[in-house]
Amino acid sequence: MQSLFSYTKGNSIIHRAPAGLKLLLLLAIPITLYLTPIQVCLTFIPVLFIVALISRIQVKLFLRDLRPIVIYSIMILAIDVLSYVISSKNGNIITKTSLYMILRLLCAIEAVSIFFRTTSIYETTDCLQRIEGVLTFGKSKLIASSMLSLFLSFLPQIFATWRDLELAYRARGGKKGPDKIITLLPRLISSSIKKADTTFLALLNRS
């Protein structure tokens, strides 16, 4: 079972698009969403879903990538409810600001899912190294691009690490609940640090 935001091999037009263009769009979309009316976000949401279908990303995988929005939504709405109770039930329980924030986060996560599902870390690294090489007139050791690539790879890696730990936990008869978090969280941090170090060395060897 693939982890959240993991790369999915394919030959769609989105897969073949330049990594630099997709990276630029990944950075531009969230900025655009927060500088424009909510109607722009409502237009982007179905458009990005269609792009995911064009990319031939399985619907179930794309929807799984959107699961983090549930956690964010619960936190945002909980704050609204708490504020409503504290303020002696004045105003609306759920504010427009919170709803708009959730919609913008949903749209941004859609874009993140499409980027990671259609762009390998090696494509991203090659793109960033070429940019760094141009900006430094070929005199750079490509450390900055390697670090940025490592940062971009951290999100899918941490979900992959959690998936592996969770599978091992279940295989040993572990149960869901607070004990699961207490048991796995320290291992997640330790494993993520080790994997980040290994990935960084691999990227340096390729540069």
> What's the pLDDT at 17?
93
Give the span between the Cα atoms of 183 and 166, in whole angstroms. Answer: 10
For 107-128, write each residue's pLDDT tens digit: 999 999 999 999 988 888 888 8
pLDDT at 77 exceeding the cut of 80? yes
> What's the pLDDT at 124?
86
Split at pLDDT 50, 70, 90, the class of 133 is confident
Nearest to 132 by CA among 140, 123, 121, 124: 140
Nearest to 115 by CA among 179, 42, 27, 36: 27
Average pLDDT value over all residues in the chain: 82
Give the span between the Cα atoms of 141 and 121, in whole angstroms. Answer: 19
For 156-182, write each residue's pLDDT tens digit: 777 677 667 777 777 877 777 777 777
